[in-house]
Amino acid sequence: MPLATRYELPAAADFHVHLRDGAMAAAVVPTVRQGGVNVAYVMPNLVPPVTTVSQAQAYKSRLQHLDPSVTYLMTLYLHPTITPDVVREAKKAGIAGIKSYPQGLTTNSESGVTDYAAFYPVFAAMEEEGLVLNIHGECASDHKKNITIMNAEASFLPTLKEIHNRFPKLRIVLEHCTTADAVKAVEACGETVVGTITAHHLFLIVDDWAGDVFHYCKPVAKMPNDRLALLKAFVTSRGKFFLGTDSAPHDISAKKGPGNTAAGVFTQPYAVPYILTALEEAIARGDISEDQVTQELLEGFLGGWGRKFYGVEDSEEGAKKGERIVVEKKDEVVAESFKGEGGIEVVPFRKGQKTWSVSWA
Ligand code: DOR
Ligand code: ZN
C-alpha cells in the first residue's frame, strides 16, 4: 500500500528536547505544539546545568509559563553533586530521569562525566527508585586510541553494556542513536534498554554536515549504512526505538560566527512533519518499503512507545487527555528562520524545503 497523504494520530511525544531558557526558550517553546507534540522530555544542559530538584522545578515553571498546554518531563544533569539522596528526592518530586553527558563533548557538557563507575551508587539508587538514565553515548576523541567523532558512539557501546549488566533493572535510554552498531547494541540488551532516534539522523549522512553548519550536531551523522540501520530500526521497532528529536536551537551567530560552530540541529517546529518526509525519502531510495509504514508504527514511534516506556499517561498536567493531530502532505515549506527577542534568530533544519503539515484535530 502506498503512503497515505493524511494521517490522524494521537498527539506526538518528543522524548529528547532542548528548550533552553530566557529569550531562547521564549522563542522555542511555542514551536513544541507547532510540531505536533504535547509531551516534551526536557534536557538539563542549561548554563549552569540543572543539577538540583529545586532548579528543575523552577525551570519547569518557567516553561509552563511560556506554554502551559505542554507536559514537561524534567531531568537532572548527572554530576558529582548528585547522590543517592538526590535521586530519592528527585523521584518524590516527579523528576523523570537523569541525563549523562560525556565531559566536554557537546553543547554545555563542561560538567559532564569522565568516569561512569564513580556513579554506580547513583545508578543503584535510580534502579531502585525507577528513575531513567538518559545517556549521551559517546567517548571523547582520543587519537592514541583512534577515537574520533566518527567512531565515538561505537566506542561507547561497551560502557552501555557494562552499565546494563550491572544494573539490569535500571531503565536506560541510549539517546540519539546514529550507528548500525548502536542499533545492534540496544537490540542486544534486555527490555529495560531502549534508544531514541532523531528526525535529522533519518536524513543525514557525513557528507551532509561536512560543510553545512546547520547539519552539524553531536553525535554527528555517520555513513549511509548507518542511516539505513536507523530507518530499519524505526520500521521494525515495536517499542525498542522511539522519537527523541534532540531539537537543539542555537542562535545563527553561534552557528556561523567566529570560532567553532555550535553542535545542534533545530527541528522542533516540524518534529512530526520531518519524520513523514524522512520516511518518504527513504522509500524513494529503496531503504524501506511503503507497506512497512503503518498507522500502528507511526502511533508507536511518535509517542505511544515512549509514553509506555516512561509510564506517561495522557496527562492532566499540561497536555489534555486524548489530543489528536492530523499530518498531511500539502504545500508546507520550512520557514527560513524563527526570531525572538533581543535579535535571536534560529535557522530550522531544511529551511525552504517542502515538508508535511500538522494541525490539531
Ligand atoms: O548536537 C547537539 N546539541 N548534541 C547534544 O548533545 C547537545 C545539543 C545542544 O544542547 O545543543
Ligand atoms: Zn540532546
Of 146, 164, 167, which Cα lies nearest the Cα of 155?
146
User: What is the CB neighbour count within 10 angstroms for residue 343?
Assistant: 10
How confident is the model over 193-215, as pLDDT tens digits?
A: 999 999 999 999 999 999 999 99
The residue nearest atom 2 of ligand 1, judged by CA position, is 264
Q: What is the pLDDT of residue 316?
A: 67
pLDDT for residue 64: 98
Confidence of residue 2 (pLDDT cuts 50, 70, 90): confident
Is the per-residue pLDDT at 306 higher than 80? yes
Instruction: Give the integer Cα–Cα distance in Å for 45 and 263.
Output: 13
Average pLDDT for the chain? 96
Residues forming beta bridges with residue 74, ordered by sequence position: 42
Band (pLDDT 50/70/90 cuts) for residue 106 is confident
Which amino acid residue places its CA nearest to atom 7 of ligand 1? 107
Above pLDDT 90, what percent of the chain? 93
Question: Helices 120-129 & 152-166, crossing angle to 10 degrees?
Answer: 60
Measured CA distances, 59 to 64, 89, 93, 277 (Å): 9, 17, 13, 33
Minimal-distance CA residue to ligand 1 atom 3 = 264
* Three-state secondary structure readout of 276-316: HHHHHHHHHHCCCCHHHCCHHHHHHHHHHHHHHHHCCCCCC
Q: Which of 209, 212, 217 to mutate to test the pocket of ligand 1 (most atoms within 8 A of CB)?
A: 217
User: Beta partners for 325?
Assistant: 9, 360
> How wide is the angle at C-alpha 312 spanned by C-alphas 310 and 199, nearest 5°?
65
Q: Has residue 20 got a pLDDT over 90?
A: yes
CA of 199 to the centre of ligand 1 (A): 14
- For a mutational test of ligand 1's pocket, the pick from 106, 266, 346, i.e. the residue with the most ligand atoms closer than 8 A to its C-beta, is 106
Instruction: Encode pLDDT of 119-155 as tens digits.
Output: 999 999 999 999 999 999 999 999 999 999 999 999 9
pLDDT interval class at 107 (50, 70, 90): confident
Three-state secondary structure readout of 194-252: EEEECCHHHCCCHHHHCCCHHHCCCCCCCCHHHHHHHHHHHHCCCCCEEECCCECCCCH
Please say if the pLDDT value at position 66 is more than 70: yes
CB 195 within 8 A of CB 227: no
Ligand 1 geometric centre to CA of 218 (Å): 6
Helix (H, G, I), strand (E, B) or coil at 100: strand
pLDDT of 104 reads: 86
Give the pLDDT confidence score for residue 310 in this predicted structure.
97
pLDDT tens track for 317-347: 899 889 999 999 999 999 999 999 999 999 9
Whose cell is 497536555? That residue is 319
> pLDDT tens for residues 308-318?
999 998 766 89
**Does residue 108 have a pLDDT over 90?**
no
- Residue with the smallest CA separation from ligand 1 atom 4 is 218
pLDDT at 278: 98
| Position in ligand 1 atom list of the atom nearest CA 263 | 1
When pLDDT is averaged across residues 229-237 and rounded to a whole number, the result is 98
Of the candidates 317, 328, 334, which has an alpha carbon nearest to the alpha carbon of residue 361?
Answer: 328
Q: What was the pLDDT predicted at 296?
A: 98
> Mean of the pLDDT values across residues 151-172?
98
Question: Cβ < 6 Å from ligand 1: which residues?
Answer: 18, 45, 106-107, 136, 217-218, 248, 263-264
User: From the CA of 263, which ligand is nearest?
Assistant: 1
Q: How remote is the CA of residue 68 from the centroid of ligand 1, in Å? A: 25
d(CA 287, CA 293): 12
How remote is the CA of residue 246 from the centroid of ligand 2, in Å?
A: 4
The minimum-distance atom of ligand 1 relative to the CA of 101 is 6
What are φ and ψ of residue 10, in 5° steps? -65, 150
pLDDT score at 227: 98
| For range 233-253, the mean pLDDT | 98
Chain position carrying cell 494541525: 359
> Per-residue pLDDT for 105 more than 90?
no
The pLDDT of residue 1: 59
Helix (H, G, I), strand (E, B) or coil at 24: helix
Domain ranges of the chain: 6-360
- Which class does domain 6-360 fall in? alpha beta
Model confidence band, residue 239 (pLDDT cutoffs 50, 70, 90): very high
